[in-house]
Structure 1
Amino acid sequence: MSDNCEKMALLLQSETDFGLGLLRQQNISESLVFSPLSIALALSLVHVAARGETRDQIREVLVKGATDEQLEQHFANISASLLAAEKGTQVNIANHVFSKSNFTIKQTYLDDVKKLYNAGATPLDFNNKEASAQAINDFVSKNTGEHIKKIISADAISDDLVAVLTNALYFKADWQNKFKPEATFKGEFFTTADSPREVDFLRASGANRAYAENDQFQVLSLPYKDDTFALTIFLPKTRFGLSDALNSIDSATIQHLLSNASNSLVNVRIPKWKIESELSLKQALEKLGIQKAFDDSADLGNLADGIFVSAVSHKALIEVDEDGTKAAAATTVSISLKSAPMFLEEPKDFIADHPFLFVLSKDNHPLFVGLHH
């Protein structure tokens, strides 16, 4: 492995660790979705502000073992590669610093976040709480295709608030292989053994699809037209084994399955779904190791003196149907199809009629992670 490949593998693994770490802090007995990338980009804006141990903790949680420069380069690169999406795949990423108009943010900070993450800055009169919340919400709405209309409420604009660092991410793409609407059928989805509910299932029979498995999961990867992006479903082989499987799976296994999905004949049955989640992330991030930023000893001196992080909020949405996927918030994994082997085989059944994990990725970088119950 060249140094570069090795570094890439480590970065993919630490991104996946970050996503899994956040996932495990949530209530995993219900459906949810979030964007580890969006969260990491927002924290990158904090990383620029931070010094000393405060900065080290953020860097270690986001990209373990990297230098500050590597972290900056990494998130700048990912942003650039996402924005270069093609073949009708739309990706929008926007970072912004909203600040209290009579509060002085160091110009070097504003210059750095503009240069690194293309983050603009807007001063707002935080005394006018309604208007300030509206300005931030308008920015998020505009940059998520109007899918996320509200991220902050007026009462969150407290008297001691001086800045709101914001990231918005939007993804919309058509499948490389669309599902035929006439094949969609109503079937039972089992969250628990005794409570099936009727949902719409997308269906493709005897289809050539990227497939992998290990002793715990069947894995199906569905590429979009720009096939560097894919949605991958990790379906536990044990019917109600999702929480056990989540406890034991690690980022190396996820990345291994993502990169080893290969062309197979598959009978695909997956639900049509739409999930929206709202997460407050302060505790989860503290558990993962970002602690100083949230307490009195925080050093965010590159932005201004005497400040700390008081809250981190996240909203995400994903919608999967016959044509493709829309996802907003902010954070995706790709498995490219290898050339099809030309021999007859029995199709594998991939029947996602019980809770599963899903990852939407770009070149195997997890953009969105979630659970479907």
Structure 2
Amino acid sequence: MSDSSSDEKMGLLLHSETDFGLSLLRQQNLTESFVFSPLSIALALSLVHVAAKGETRDEIRKALLNGATDEELEQHFSNISAGLLVAEKGTEVNVANHIFSRKTFTIKKLYLNDVKKLYNAGASQLNFEDQEASAEAINNFVSENTKGHIKKIINPDSISEELVAVLTNAFYFKANWQTKFKKESTYKREFFSSENSKRETEFLHSRNSNRKYSENGQFQVLSLPYKDTSFALSIFLPKTRFGLSEALQNLDSVTIQQLMSNTSNTLVNIAMPKWKIETALGLNRALMAVGIEKAFTDSADLSNFADGIYISQAAHKALIEVDEDGTVAAAATTISFSLTSVFIPAEEPIEFTADHPFLFILSKDNHPLFIGIHN
């Protein structure tokens, strides 16, 4: 494949990946603050993709990376995982995949070899009869790999008699801004969630600041790079004060990628809230809504993993904390397998006052790692 066609293909996959994140975003309540990691969810589903055959596999591939082949999907997420782990300049990133299975249950050896090779996924057996100890082992894995930011992803009562395996992804990110905000410039001001709802919260401020900025008819976009500048936090602030929900209806991956790619150094006066958001999501309904249906039914074909199983539960937790120094973000995803049965340059600084609901995307080379709404 020539370099130009290879770059074109990479661009298409990046758009597909962004579309997957947008599709999941639209399943949420857009009037509340939330955060999730489309990458953590995609990596957990990549473990399922290796397990799947036929229509079950096709649905997962189409939802995650529409237009990709199975091999391209595997290479894409394998490359992203490996690329994240070589973060520089004090940026900490951890990505860990693991399969926990019932002691009395046999997973096909070829599957375990494939996920180890592609996604560095480890595997261990647990005595699922001891629900407390099994849940504790899975939760400990998540806690250790998110540096204690996500302590619990699964409850003991989720370890049912039919459960045979829990596919787990844990993802942690911590980085300082390339240009930190001064603590003495932080002060309280009002954030307006809606016309009739406001609250006082601490805002980060920076005046006459040369920052990466772009805009279109609907959004002002401020991109804040970290010390490792391949990572950035982009804030999509609607120009219509309370028009986030409406703007999101028409927002697509092409627009997102154009706005994030076409930022230029611009004089900006920044006011944006410090925030910490934590979210727990049940993913079954959201994943079915984006086209992954068969894997959740008795007709699921996950036979590369084992025969006669389906996805009984998919769960996700994420958090993001943004302050003067930088960002901490973490996410975990579990997928349970059970036995079947059941910008413009200007001389004057541009005002960027994020005092109303906005979308944010934390990315690595424009790959969306975390997506959320600040309301």
Shorter-chain TM-score range: over 0.9
Question: Matched residue of 2:59: which SS?
Answer: helix
SS of the equivalent of 1:311 reads strand
Q: Does the aligned pair in 2 maintain the 1:37–1:330 contact within 8 Å?
A: no
Report the aligned-residue RMSD.
Answer: 1.4
The answer (yes or no) to whether the contact 2:98–2:168 under 8 Å persists in 1 is yes
Structure 2: give runs of 5+ residues left out of the alignment.
334-342
Q: Following the alignment from structure 2 to structure 1, what is the Cα–Cα distance between the partners of residues 300 and 40?
A: 22
In structure 2, what is the equivalent of residue 104 of structure 1? 106
The whole-number CA distance in structure 2 between the counterparts of 1:291 and 1:140 is 27
Q: How does 1:152-171 map to 2 (within 5 A)?
A: 152-171=154-173
Q: Which string of whole-angstrom CA distances, capped at 9 and with x for unpartnered residues, describes residues 343-367 of structure 1?
A: 9810000000000000000000000
Contact 1:320/1:326, CA 8 A, preserved across alignment: yes
Deviation at 1:193, TM superposition (A): 1.4
- Matches of 1:9 and 1:118, distance apart in 2: 25
Deviation at 1:194, TM superposition (A): 2.2
1:114 corresponds to which residue? 116
**What residue in structure 2 maps to residue 361 of structure 1?**
363
Is 1:63 the counterpart of 2:73? The answer is: no
Over 3 Å counting, the alpha-carbon distance change for 1:359 and 1:344 in structure 2 is closer
Percent identity, please. Answer: 70
- Equivalent pair of 1:274/1:318 in contact (CA under 8 Å): yes
1:327 and 2:329 aligned = yes
What is the alpha-carbon distance in structure 2 between the residues aligned to residue 137 and residue 292 of structure 1? Answer: 28
Q: Is the 8 A contact 1:51 1:299 kept in 2?
A: yes
CA distance in 2, matches of 1:289, 1:323: 39
Give distance in 2, aligned partners of 1:153 and 1:180: 41
Secondary structure of 1:19's match?
helix
SS in 2 for 1:212: strand
Letter in 2 for 1:52: G
Preserved CA contact (<8 Å) 1:267 1:349: yes
Q: 1:246 aligns with which of 236, 245, 248?
A: 248
1:305-325 deviation digits (Å, cap 9, x = unpaired): 000001110000000000000
Which residue number corresponds to residue 56 of structure 2? 54
**Matched AA of 2:219:** F
Could you tell me how far apart the structure 2 residues matched to 1:127 and 1:13 are? 44
Match of 1:371 in 2: 373
303-312 or 192-201: bigger deviation: 192-201
Question: Counterparts of 1:107 and 1:140 in 2: how far apart (Å)?
Answer: 24
Q: One-letter code of the match for 2:62?
A: E
Give yes or no for contact 2:34–2:372 (8 Å, CA) kept in 1: yes
Equivalent residue number for residue 307 of structure 1: 309
Give the partner amino acid of 2:128.
F
Which residue of the partner structure matches residue 11 of structure 1? 13
The question of 1:76 aligning with 2:78 is answered yes
Instruction: Kindly indicate whether the alpha-carbon contact (under 8 Å) linking 1:34 and 1:330 is maintained by their aligned counterparts in 2.
Output: no
Aligned residues of 2:266 and 2:346 also touching (Cα < 8 A): no
**Any gaps of 5 or more consecutive residues in structure 1?**
332-337
Q: Note the 1:1-373 alignment, pairs <5 A.
A: 2-330=4-332, 345-373=347-375
Residue identity matched to 1:50: A
Q: Is the 8 A contact 1:295 1:309 kept in 2?
A: yes
Q: Which amino acid aligns with 2:233?
A: L
Could you say what secondary structure the match of 2:300 adopts? Answer: coil
Instruction: Report what 1:335 is aligned to.
Output: none
Greater strand proportion: 2
Corresponding residue for 1:334? none
Once residues 365 and 117 of structure 1 are traced to their aligned partners in structure 2, the CA distance between those partners, rounded to angstroms, is 17
Contact 1:49 1:302 in 2 (8 A): yes
Q: CA offset at residue 327 of structure 1?
A: 0.1
> In 2, distance between residues paired with 1:247 and 1:6?
26
Asked if the contact 1:54/1:298 (under 8 Å) is kept, the reply is: yes
Amino acid of the structure 2 residue aligned with 1:47: H
Q: 1:344 to 1:54 in 2, by over 3 A?
A: closer
8 Å CA contact 2:153, 2:332 repeated in 1: no
Letter of the aligned partner of 2:153 in structure 1?
I
CA distance in 1, matches of 2:50, 2:82: 19
Distance 2:180 2:133 in 1: 42
Letter in 2 for 1:7: K
Q: Please give the alpha-carbon distance, in whole angstroms, between the structure 2 residues aligned to 1:172 and 1:264.
A: 26
Q: Secondary structure at the match of 1:2?
A: helix
Q: Report the TM-score when normalising by structure 1.
A: 0.96
How far apart in 1 are the matches of 2:210 and 2:9? 32
CA contact (8 A) 1:212 1:219 kept: yes
How many residue pairs get matched? Answer: 364
SS of 1:99's partner is strand
Q: Report the 3-state secondary structure (helix = DSSP H, G, I; strand = E; otherwise coil) of the residue aligned with 2:196.
A: coil
Q: Distance in 2 between matches of 1:303 and 1:369?
A: 31
